[in-house]
Structure 1
Amino acid sequence: MPLLSVSYVNYRNLENKTIDLLSKEVFFVGENGQGKSNLLESIYFSAYGNSFRTRSDAEIVREGEKSFSVKSLYREENGNTASLFFTYENQKKRIEKNGKTIKDRKELINTMPCVLFCHDDLDYAAGEPEKKRFFIDQCLSMYDVLYIDLNRRYKKILKSRNLSLKEKKYEMLDIFDQQLAQD
């Protein structure tokens, strides 16, 4: 599923324009601080609906502006051209796939499979268990979209179980343990 182009408005320090990515090979070359990482971040954003560099979409907005948008065109497996459009305005994100609003980002996962490797990714091999689980969860989600719902349910049950332990409400532990074992 090749990425054909990416268009930006008020995305970090990137110029408001469209970048054609249809070539067989694409190289991003430039001095530090010119936007190479921002461009890669925007491609990741197109694949997942969020940044790998920040949890706050407000940080992506170009300084002095109030909103940003990213539009990506890509080719589907059947050869058709499709689009993804992301806007962030008034502290709200809106995602459209082929003109239809997406309510859950899990609908993006298989649209443009994307794996990012950067210097922080050493944590996936040698870091905290949470980082390792995140990487495995991300890869499994690209393989099977149903895994996302199972993982969300598991985390919700685990959070409730941990809260019961913290509040010393031990009578619920057996129920939570059974639910965790089922998932």
Structure 2
Amino acid sequence: MYLQQLSVINFKNYAEARLELSPGVNAFTGNNGAGKTNLLDAIHYLSLCKSYFNPIDSQQIKQDADFFIINGLFERNGHTESVACSVKRNQKKQFKRNKKDYQRLADHIGLFPLVMVSPYDVSIIIEGSEERRRFIDNVISQTDNQYLDELIAYNKIVLNRNAVLKRMSENGRFDVSLLEVYNEQMVTLGIKIFEKRKAFMDAFTPIFNEHYRFISNGAEQVELIYQSQLIDGDFNELLLKNADRDRILQRTSVGIHRDDLLFSIHGMPMKKFGSQGQQKSFLIALKLAQYSFLYQQKGFKPLLLLDDIFDKLDNLRVTKLMQMVSDHNFGQVFITDTSDKRVAEVFNAIDVSLKLFNVTGGEVYAES
């Protein structure tokens, strides 16, 4: 599976652009702010129906325009398939495959799997648990087309239950029977999601450990642990035991929406005790493990998007990553960098062919 062609209209800083892509390595080079990362984000839209960086679709529309359109042609299973995404201001996003509208965007997720590696990924380590849950959910949703629907439904129930708790507090009346209805719905969906997350982590963790050992040359001992209140507790009992607490807090304090991942190095929290280099190694191992997991599950190689990594990684990690590229562990790769010379030297050194695009002020040209 690979992306043959990409075109955008009124997307971010692009009025219009059309690219014929290589099934191997494609590099977008140019100054900061030229629009290199925006091309990666357009590809992310085609795969996962949304921006990697900003959840508000209308904010991706070029200034002074009323809409944006992204089109892509993929080769998949020996066939060419078209994917199109369009957003008009104050209207619902439209998504089509082979010119047919989707009724549910969740039906598209996973057909064209993708892994993005970006400097913004450090938020997975330093920010709150929501970022780490989002990482888990992103991977699972590309392999299980029911998972996203279950997650959306569960989160909606939590929001409704929280609204009821707040209203009960304001009214001074606590309706146990109403909460039991929400509890039952939460338990049914929550257990399904928990079991899928646990099964994923059981399969994913050994893959992650293998990648981290490779990147770090086995220099450090790290751990990746899935934390959930449901591991050692019955979900319904947890809700009943915490009913008074929920009433005081006016929110649901237990459930799979509180799940987290624990990252540690030599038994200490990675966030506090990991160096910048160790944190970067951890993140790259996470993303490469995501790639390997998707490859195993889907039976074909996902797209790999590497945003500004040469500028953010030391030579050892760049060498390790490029060693994997040269071993043909990856399919189609997209890279952004400020220096076309640096990119060319890296890939010449590992004898991997490269298609270079120069990006300048919202315009992109293929170098001959």
Q: Matched residues in 1 for 2:150 and 2:41: separation?
A: 27
Say whether residues 1:174 and 2:180 are aligned partners: yes
Q: Secondary structure at the match of 2:120?
A: helix
- Summarize deviations over 1:44-93 as a string: whole Å, max 9, x none: 111122212223222222222222111001111x2101011112234322
Higher helix share: 2
Runs of 4+ in structure 1 over 4 Å off: none
Which residue of structure 2 aligns with residue 87 of structure 1?
86
What is the letter of the counterpart of residue 186 of structure 2?
A: L
User: How big is the shift at 1:37?
Assistant: 0.8
Which has the bigger relative contact order, CA under 8 A and spacing at least 6?
A: 2
The CA deviation string for residues 142-181 of structure 1, in whole angstroms up to 9 with x for no partner, is: 1211111111121122112212221224422222222222
Offset of residue 15 of structure 1 = 5.1
Equivalences for residues 47-62 of structure 1 within 5 A:
47-62=47-62
The structural deviation recorded for 1:14 is 2.5
Structure-2 residue corresponding to 1:7: 7
Asked which structure has the greater CA Rg, the reply is: 2
Residue-pair matches, total: 182
Identity among equivalent pairs (%)? 27
Contact kept, 8 Å, 1:164 with 1:170, in 2: the verdict is no
AA in 2 matched with 1:26: N
Unmatched 5+ stretches in structure 1: none
Does the CA-based 8 Å contact 1:2-1:75 persist in structure 2?
yes
The residue number in structure 2 matching 1:24 is 24
What RMSD in Å do the two structures reach over aligned CA positions? 1.7
Q: TM-score, with normalisation over the residues of structure 2? A: 0.47
Q: C-alpha displacement at 1:96, in angstroms?
A: 1.1
* TM-score when normalising by structure 1: 0.90
Q: Does 1:101 align with 2:97?
A: no
Shift in CA distance, 170/116, structure 1 to aligned 2, threshold 3 Å: farther
